[in-house]
């Protein structure tokens, strides 16, 4: 009986296997292959008759590394600001807001999440432009014409804005699952509000913090649309360099190498951070006397 039930279920995954191998694994393998090639002459985009690691040497040049550090800084600062902004909000929504309002407020949070990414960014471009509403308001209040568009600050603002919902939702889900009983128990045992927050609520929210940071940081490293719209020439991100090699310079070999380096560096940063966080958690856990179980 069990066998009869299981057999067709395995086959159901077949289309997904075929699709992912055909349109995810194979194309990425192709990019890795291109990255070992070179650009043949003015009109070719790539050639692989001579294989070398030279494109990686070219990719790791000064411009790329400078842009990479710029991207990394925007991504790390953006992720941290998102976390700092989202954590109190998610806590408020999950714990303080009465249950009957929660659905409505969540729906409100989801609306920007599903509005076109590029269009929201254009909204900021209007808002921040020298003739825009923010600048006008500032001038009414007696300030000078604001010229914040096409600066790093504008890019940072846009990035925080665009990725904030991706941080908010996992945090909310994690905090919402933490039971009220545990917090009450902590208070009954004489812990102050701050102790309860630090020793009970935040450790329970940890999975949400981790997945939120991942969901913000990784796509942010590859994004260049936000930076192009709000940063202009100054908003150079690695994604832009890769795109330029494909769309302007027509050097697919170099562009491929850059993309591979970007993916490896991003993965490396994530793994390194995860490792450090896990070690710190382990140390903290051995010092703490009470073990908290996640309320499933």
Partner 1 sequence: MKSDRLLAIWGVLVLAFLFAPILIIVVYSFNSGRLLTSWQGFGFDAYTAGTSRPAIRAAVTTSVQSAVGAALLSAVIGSLAGLALARRGGRWAAVLTLLLGLTLVTPEIMDAISLLGWFVSLNTEAGLPLFGDGVARLVIAHSVLSTAVVTFIVRARVAGLDSRLEEAAADLYATPWRRFRDVTLPLAAPGVLAGGLMAFTLSLDNTIVASFVSLPGASPWPVYVFSALRAGLRPEIAAVSTLLLVLTLVALAVVALVLRRSGDSPSDIARTMAGG
Shortest spacing between CB 2 and partner 1, in angstroms: 8
Pick one of 56, 89, 138, 206: the residue that binds partner 1 (CB under 8 A): 89
Give CA–CA dist 71/74, Å, rounded: 5
Contact between 243 and partner 1 (CB under 8 A)?
yes
Residues 155/74, Cβ–Cβ less than 8 Å: yes
Nearer residue to partner 1 within complex by CB, 102 or 152: 102
Contact between 233 and partner 1 (CB under 8 A)?
no
Shortest spacing between CB 282 and partner 1, in angstroms: 24
Contact between 196 and partner 1 (CB under 8 A)?
no
Shortest spacing between CB 216 and partner 1, in angstroms: 12
Give CA–CA dist 237/223, Å, rounded: 8
Pick one of 129, 151, 250, 273: the residue that binds partner 1 (CB under 8 A): 129
Q: Which stretch binds partner 1 (CB under 8 A): 12-20, 53-61, 137-145, 179-187?
A: 12-20
Q: Which stretch binds partner 1 (CB under 8 A): 57-65, 114-122, 181-189, 280-288?
A: 114-122
Q: Which of residues 18-47 bind partner 1 (CB under 8 A)?
A: 19-20, 23-28, 30-31, 34, 46
Give CA–CA dist 296/286, Å, rounded: 23
Shortest spacing between CB 123 and partner 1, in angstroms: 3
Structure tokens at 64: 């790329």
Please count the residues of the chain: 296
Nearer residue to partner 1 within complex by CB, 274 or 284: 274
The CA–CA distances, whole Å, from 290 to 152, 196, 281, 283 equal: 45, 13, 14, 14
Pick one of 118, 249, 279, 284: the residue that binds partner 1 (CB under 8 A): 118
Pick one of 80, 214, 277, 292: the residue that binds partner 1 (CB under 8 A): 214
Contact between 273 and partner 1 (CB under 8 A)?
no
Structure tokens at 152: 């790093």
Handedness of CA 153, 155, 158, 162 (dihedral sign): negative
Q: Which stretch binds partner 1 (CB under 8 A): 57-65, 159-167, 183-191, 282-290?
A: 159-167
Nearer residue to partner 1 within complex by CB, 196 or 203: 196
Shortest spacing between CB 167 and partner 1, in angstroms: 11
Q: Which stretch binds partner 1 (CB under 8 A): 170-178, 182-190, 276-284, 285-293?
A: 170-178
Give CA–CA dist 293/213, Å, rounded: 22
Give CA–CA dist 149/10, Å, rounded: 53
The CA–CA distances, whole Å, from 245 to 39, 106, 241 equal: 11, 41, 6
* 183-216 residues labelled b (16+ CB within 10 A) or e (exposed): beebeeeebeeeebeeebbebbbeebbbbbbbbb
Strand partners, 226: none
Contact between 200 and partner 1 (CB under 8 A)?
no
Contact between 98 and partner 1 (CB under 8 A)?
no
Contact between 103 and partner 1 (CB under 8 A)?
yes
Cβ-proximal residues to 214 (8 Å cutoff; 6+ apart), any chain: 270
């Amino acid at each position: 009986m069990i066998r009869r039930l299981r057999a067709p279920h395995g086959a159901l995954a077949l289309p997904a296997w075929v699709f992912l191998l055909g349109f995810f694994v194979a194309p990425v393998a192709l990019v890795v292959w291109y990255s070992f090639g070179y650009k043949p002459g003015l009109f070719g985009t790539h050639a692989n008759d001579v294989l070398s690691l030279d494109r990686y040497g070219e990719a790791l040049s000064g411009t790329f590394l400078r842009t990479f550090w710029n991207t990394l800084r925007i991504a790390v600062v953006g992720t941290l600001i998102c976390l700092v902004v989202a954590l109190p909000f998610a806590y408020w929504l999950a714990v303080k807001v009465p249950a009957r309002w929660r659905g409505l407020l969540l729906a409100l949070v989801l609306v920007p999440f599903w509005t076109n990414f590029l269009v929201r960014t254009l909204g900021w471009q209007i808002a921040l432009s020298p003739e825009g509403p923010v600048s006008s308001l500032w001038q009414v209040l007696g300030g000078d014409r604001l010229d914040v568009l096409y600066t790093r600050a504008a890019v940072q603002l846009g990035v925080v804005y665009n990725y904030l919902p991706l941080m908010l939702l996992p945090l909310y889900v994690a905090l919402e699952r933490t039971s009220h009983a545990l917090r009450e128990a902590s208070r009954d045992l004489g812990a102050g509000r701050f102790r309860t927050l630090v020793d009970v609520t935040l450790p329970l929210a940890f999975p949400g913090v981790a997945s939120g940071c991942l969901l913000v940081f990784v796509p942010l490293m590859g994004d260049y649309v936000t930076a192009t719209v709000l940063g202009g020439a100054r908003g150079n991100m690695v994604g832009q360099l890769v795109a330029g090699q494909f769309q302007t310079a027509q050097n697919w070999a170099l562009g491929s190498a850059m993309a591979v380096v970007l993916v490896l560096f991003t993965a490396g940063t994530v793994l390194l951070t995860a490792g450090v966080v896990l070690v710190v958690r382990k140390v903290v856990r051995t010092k703490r006397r009470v073990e908290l179980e996640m309320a499933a």
